[in-house]
Chain A
Amino acid sequence: MTSAPAESSPPVLDVRDVDVRLSGRTILDRVSFSIGAGEFTGLIGSNGAGKTTLFRVILGLQPTNAGDVLVEGRPRTKRGQPIGFVPQKFLLDPDLPLRARDLVGLGLDAQRLGAPRPSRARHALVDEMLEAVDARRFADTRVGRLSGGEQQRILIAHALIARPRLLLLDEPLANLDLRSAHEVVELLARITREQDIAVLISAHEINPLLGVMDRVVYLAEGRAATGTTDEVVRADVLSNLYGHHVDVLNVHGRVLIVAGAGEDTDLAGHEVAFPTSEIKRESAP
């Protein structure tokens, strides 16, 4: 999937031995991984595993205690480096006087001063981006009145319109129904290939991403295991990561990661990384 010249150029994102400690607590512990162009990478971990902190580090908003973050081979210090970002699910005010297309347009130049000058070229660029995320039909709706899946599309278009090489999405599937989540994942996988960008998407459930991930970065206890899904989502690797025994169960092409299984009466009180809600998902589209 990765094109040949990518071998010689540096990875789009290179995270090297990043340590973050906040008020004495270790949030990230020597986290290292890299993502190349055209790679769709999942950042998997339960709530509080440090996913959002890692995003803040990559964006340059969170100082590190050790380690480096390189974006296209350069340290992530200066402003204006090409990173698209979709933050964790937040509530857009339904009364905000802002159409979907206005928010996408802000993705072009929100950091500039003054009001944007409307032009045919700008309008066409916004239209093209809306088309790319299949959002033309609600382009003129107030952005706060769109459904969760529709808002995600608009936020993705906002993040992508300035043509970043790296796109970060913090839990974009949280609070989406199964169908919308599936659509958003398909959209992101397609954009990753078409635009040859590096995509890092965090999620607390691995299953919605299983078919499309090129690589997985699995965060637990502040540490990360990284590789292809087959290399990482294994009982030995994850047990090592969690520091206690973990079972990985394959159920009809889905995985269940269960702590302390084997003594099946013992589930309660142990950490269950993926809650039992996974089991009810057999009617996925």
Chain B
Amino acid sequence: MSFVLGAIFAPGFFTSEPVHIALAIGAVAAIVTGTVGVFTVARGQSFAGEAFGDIGTTGGSGAFLIGVGPLWGFVIGNLLAAGAMEAIGIQRARGRDLATGVVLGASIGLAALFLYLATTEQSTTGATVTILFGSVFTIASSTIPLVLALSAVVLGLMFTLYRPLLLATVSPEMAAARGIPVRLVGALYLVALALGAALAAITIGSLLGTALLVGPAASALRLTKRPLLAMATAAGIGIAAMWLGVVLAYDSYEWPPVGHGWPVSFFVVTIVFIGYLASGLPGRRRGGRDQTPAAATPAPRLPAGD
């Protein structure tokens, strides 16, 4: 038994503080992104999530340049982006694609400048890699309170909005007919999405953040037909991917090139992707329409944390 454990967890894994922080922040970020992501997928707003990744890059690199923690940059950049999206109406399925494309292009251009300046100033490419692809092992423990506070805000928002948001997702007309302020609910959800994307960015990078936001949620939608269960399943898949990614990244210090660990983000995104492929298997065998005898369908196997 201990041999097997030893083969999986490299020496020092359980005593390393960066590992503790990575596991904790990874789990929190996965819970938040899973909760938010189910609605991102159900509302068809994956593109908005991706846009937050692009704009978050600008915020994160700007923050790096002026010497502030990147999470602040992600948060402020994404909140500004949410405001802009609300203003130009990107959240509608047939939003103003052209305007959005132009804004995103300009934003990435700005990020290129910031990252270039950061690189020349400090003669290191660390900033670029950290912002774009994340580095969950290098997160300062002082960031944890902010991560927890943001997570509490997002989860609180999602819990508060749950029913109106769910009906507005099913049908904006039905929600409006009940007196639900559909536009306000959508705008508040966009705030939750912006903050969720920021948390995803801090763990696996602004470019890959969408994977954590959308991947586990898309798998969960295939595995369960109940909204709260879908959120829990997405969170569970996300946690499994994050933790497995951390373990493998830690192990990879002994893989070639020896002494240089592979990026956690690579493992996380790969596991999320494999999870998504695997979640399609039961559905394919079962055929299109899932029938009432739900007991006959295999229980979801992936979730580890719900």
Contacts and interface: CB of A to CB of B under 8 A. Distances in A.
A138 B220 contact: no
B164 interface: yes
Nearest to A90: B171
A168 B263 CA distance: 57
Contact of B225 (A92, A98, A155): A98
How many chain A residues sit at the interface, stated as a range, is 35 or more
A138 B292 contact: yes
Contact of B171 (A83, A87, A113): A87
Interface stretch (B1-9, B68-76, B98-106, B227-235): B227-235
B253 to A, nearest CB: 39
Interface in B281-299: 288-292, 294
A12 B222 CA distance: 44
Given A92-B170, A115-B162, A61 B176 contact: yes
Interface centre among B173, B175, B222 (most CB of A within 10 A): B173
B163 interface: yes
Interface in A84-102: 85-88, 90, 92-93, 95-99, 102
B15 interface: no
Contacts of A112: 163-164
B224 interface: yes
Interface stretch (A103-111, A190-198, A225-233): A103-111
A137 B222 CA distance: 22
Interface residues of B, number: 38
A236 interface: no
B111 interface: no
Contact of B163 (A99, A109, A139, A143): A109
Interface stretch (B23-31, B54-62, B177-185, B237-245): B177-185
A272 to B, nearest CB: 29
Interface string B159-175: 11111101101110111
A59 B176 contact: yes
Contacts of A254: none
Contacts of A109: 163
A2 interface: no
Given A97-B224, A97-B227, A115-B228, A90 B163 contact: no
Interface in B127-184: 159-164, 166-167, 169-171, 173-180
Going nearest first, the 3 A-B pairs with the smallest beta carbon separation are A79-B179, A85-B177, A87-B173
Given A106-B170, A110-B167, A110-B175, 12 more contacts: A86-B174, A87-B171, A87-B174, A95-B42, A95-B221, A97-B224, A99-B225, A102-B227, A106-B163, A111-B163, A113-B163, A138-B292
27 contacts: A59-B176, A59-B177, A80-B179, A85-B177, A90-B173, A96-B42, A96-B169, A96-B170, A97-B38, A97-B42, A97-B225, A97-B227, A99-B225, A99-B226, A102-B227, A110-B163, A110-B166, A110-B167, A111-B179, A112-B164, A113-B161, A114-B163, A115-B163, A138-B292, A142-B225, A145-B289, A158-B174
